[in-house]
Structure 1
């Protein structure tokens, strides 16, 4: 069978509409054409050993191809059988597979090469099992809190910015073991800042993150339901614009404008990206020490600072 005939069959949805049909066609192709040694593989072929492995492993987990035969996607369920995690692979050469994308917090597992799909599955299944508490904490935050950033949160994002009131957000990061770190206020007000400092000293590690937040800020329920906020995003309800670029959405910055000035009388919003660039420019364009720029609020001229990250 010629290669073009095989390609035409694979593109024909009626004759190749499942993984089983796809494997039968590939076996038919390889039965008629010897496998080339790995060092001589052409760019449009993958070795039969990998095809056999895909056929075997697809009986237990979902495996599919992307835009080419070199792009693969494996879907793994966690040990609770509640969450499906997608792992995207790229076949580079014989016994060389790399990770191109995965919706999980960064780990060195994403940067190494693998000799087989089974090795990828084993490594990431163990990694996913170690993140059970991490998943639970993020899901609990997304369910009970108004998450302002990320706009479309995933497990790849290990932080959340929670709306406390119309001017104040709480930034909190979740470690792989499910504990909280780097907790601070954005657009902070004096009373809430005092509550946070006091609450961090009495943080109860036997409670989850949401319970601790409710306890610190004396909130029975965090103000706005997340479904309502998501609905506003879907309906593209425009919020306050940045007082520097005069836009709500900015290509260079995924976040929305925030009330970054600590002056309670300054009801002005900025993108962090815009404010940082503004403060750096006011200081002559020199990179700030430790990634934090200091200066005056462009609107009320009160002292203000902004981090690059």
Structure 2
């Protein structure tokens, strides 16, 4: 009898130079219990070398004499298959007197495990103790690993599950009471393929530019703040469906310098070519070579807000800079707005006018969008 005959839901988890580690479920009197097992690669080390861990729901039901017997069989086993056969036999005989008919949750758990097996255990990254959270993985054509978390309602499997991804748009999938995990995963693969060019465009920027934000971009990130030179950067938001089209652009830095680059951008905008990559287009219309990741010190260009003394606040960066070059303090829009509002600064339409908190030079800030 082979291992797959005894434990068809056994998943190879990790391989080292000396051990093979497995994760899976064993059917004990109709209940599925989770277990981990470590098996030496060398046959000479099998006896006394295997290690087993089973979930608490099973462990606490076994008497000490049963645990001692299992440990003896584990130390004397010369193969994984023989040990698993003995383990199931010993545990089933131990639990027969206290056996309770499998509850509905056990039936649902079996259905979930069958769907995972149908999908392929190689796609499983993680599975929680209750089988309510399943984490799956898909590797795209460029070798990027994408994760899909599925939160199931085990009380009613016809209820649409909640899915978490790191896609740049919401993951919307077709759902009916008969939808299976494999159907959701297939739609996830289609969604991942949709954004291949988008991720390729951003990777070229990450590889060739000094990217200030986000510090740790995810596959969901559509924005980049790119250093142009010390204390001057370009913030872009990319269209994930059409990544080679002109992105949203905002220059962050001293106003005279930002005005100069904005003027250059407007003059050269006609040179934008959707057949070129995003990175090359930006260099073309700005008429510059972006500094490489090693050319500019991030500490130099990442100025903290002069009001709250932090840089990143709720994904907002200090992008309003005092026009007096002797000052050049930067502020978050929200911080400067609150500062000027509390000083009863003059407001015209959706803009507040006041003075820089450091040098009293005239400064202005737009009212945050949520307040207009």
TM-score of the aligned structures, taking structure 1 as reference length:
0.73
Match of 1:298 in 2: 357
Classify 1:105/1:60 alpha carbon distance in 2 versus 1 (closer, same or farther; 3 Å): same
CA separation in 2, counterparts of 1:117 and 1:64? Answer: 14
CA separation in 1, counterparts of 2:174 and 2:338? Answer: 32
- Determine if contact 1:144/1:226 at 8 Å carries over to the other structure: no
Matched, 1:223 2:291: yes
CA separation in 2, counterparts of 1:18 and 1:34? Answer: 28
Match of 1:99 in 2: 162
Matched, 1:308 2:371: no
Match of 2:190 in 1: 126
- Determine if contact 1:257/1:272 at 8 Å carries over to the other structure: yes
TM-fit CA distance, 1:102: 1.4
Matched, 1:82 2:143: yes
User: Higher relative CO (CA 8 A, sep ≥ 6), structure 1 or 2?
Assistant: 1
Whose radius of gyration is greater, 1 or 2? 2
- Determine if contact 1:272/1:306 at 8 Å carries over to the other structure: yes
CA separation in 1, counterparts of 2:29 and 2:269? Answer: 61
TM-fit CA distance, 1:128: 0.7
CA separation in 1, counterparts of 2:22 and 2:270? Answer: 57
Classify 1:109/1:191 alpha carbon distance in 2 versus 1 (closer, same or farther; 3 Å): same
Classify 1:264/1:141 alpha carbon distance in 2 versus 1 (closer, same or farther; 3 Å): same
TM-fit CA distance, 1:18: 2.6
- CA deviation profile, 1:233-268 (whole Å, cap 9, x unmatched): 8xxx995332112x2356x43455445345545411
TM-fit CA distance, 1:68: 4.5
Q: How does 1:62-73 map to 2 (within 5 A)?
A: 62-66=124-128, 68-73=130-135
Match of 1:18 in 2: 22
Partner residue of 2:200 out of 109, 131, 136:
136
RMSD: 3.7
Classify 1:81/1:170 alpha carbon distance in 2 versus 1 (closer, same or farther; 3 Å): closer
- CA deviation profile, 1:264-293 (whole Å, cap 9, x unmatched): 454112234322433444458x9x97xx65
Q: How does 1:166-177 map to 2 (within 5 A)?
A: 166-177=230-241
Match of 1:248 in 2: 310
Classify 1:307/1:165 alpha carbon distance in 2 versus 1 (closer, same or farther; 3 Å): farther
Matched, 1:159 2:163: no
Structure (1/2) with the larger strand percentage: 2
- Determine if contact 2:231/2:303 at 8 Å carries over to the other structure: no
TM-fit CA distance, 1:172: 1.1
Unmatched runs of 5 consecutive residues or more in structure 1? 1-12
TM-fit CA distance, 1:83: 0.8
CA separation in 2, counterparts of 1:269 and 1:113? Answer: 52
CA separation in 1, counterparts of 2:341 and 2:176? Answer: 40
